[in-house]
């Protein structure tokens, strides 16, 4: 499932562009500890949707939720889910789409939801964060146990 992206690979330019865009959207998150971005792209490399982790729209006292770690974990919407919500408003069939995430693989809950949505290709940076290690392993195993699903964990080599 590891994938080494190099300038010699014809997909490298697009992979880098979309991961860079996911990184950009991650910077929009107000989460003080973890900023995550997600980009959904169709099979013709056209942008379908974006998302970043954050609280529900219109929430009063957002800072009180973000600054209480336990409460934040119970209420924050992950970047991938935000991207999926907006994608489903405009793009009925996601089966030929790819999800790009920054800085790491979707958690196991998000991976399950995305597999159910029909997305079969997931591209992210290789990240072995000890904090999310168990969830990432479950995500990888979910993908392995599915037909025609690929996870590319990119290592940059110039």
Q: What percent of the chain is modeled with pLDDT above 90? A: 77
- In angstroms, the CA 55 to CA 118 distance is 25
The answer, yes or no, to whether the previous bond of 80 is cis (omega within 30 of 0) is no
pLDDT tens sequence across 81-99: 999 999 988 877 899 999 9
* DSSP secondary structure, 70-83, as one string: HHHHHHPBPHHHHH
Q: Helices in 7-103 by DSSP H: which ranges?
A: 12-26, 62-66, 69-75, 79-90
Average pLDDT, the chain: 90
Grade residue 1 by pLDDT with cuts at 50, 70 and 90.
Answer: very low
pLDDT tens sequence across 47-80: 999 999 999 999 988 999 999 999 999 999 999 9
Give the residue numbers annotated as catalytic, written as ranges.
Answer: 80
């Amino acid at each position: 499932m590891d994938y080494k992206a190099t300038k010699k690979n014809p997909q490298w330019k697009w992979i880098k562009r979309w991961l860079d865009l996911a990184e950009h959207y991650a910077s929009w998150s107000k989460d003080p500890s973890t900023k995550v971005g997600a980009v959904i792209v169709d099979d013709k490399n056209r942008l379908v949707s974006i998302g970043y982790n954050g609280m529900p729209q219109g929430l009063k006292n957002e800072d009180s939720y973000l600054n209480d770690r336990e409460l934040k974990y119970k209420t924050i919407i992950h970047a991938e889910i935000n991207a999926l919500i907006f994608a489903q408003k405009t793009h009925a069939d996601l089966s030929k789409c790819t999800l790009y995430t920054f800085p790491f693989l979707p958690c196991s809950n998000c991976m399950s939801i995305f597999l159910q949505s029909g997305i079969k290709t997931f591209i992210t940076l290789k990240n072995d964060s000890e904090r999310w290690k168990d969830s990432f392993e479950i995500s990888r195993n979910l993908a392995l146990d599915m037909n025609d699903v690929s996870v590319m964990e990119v290592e940059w080599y110039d």
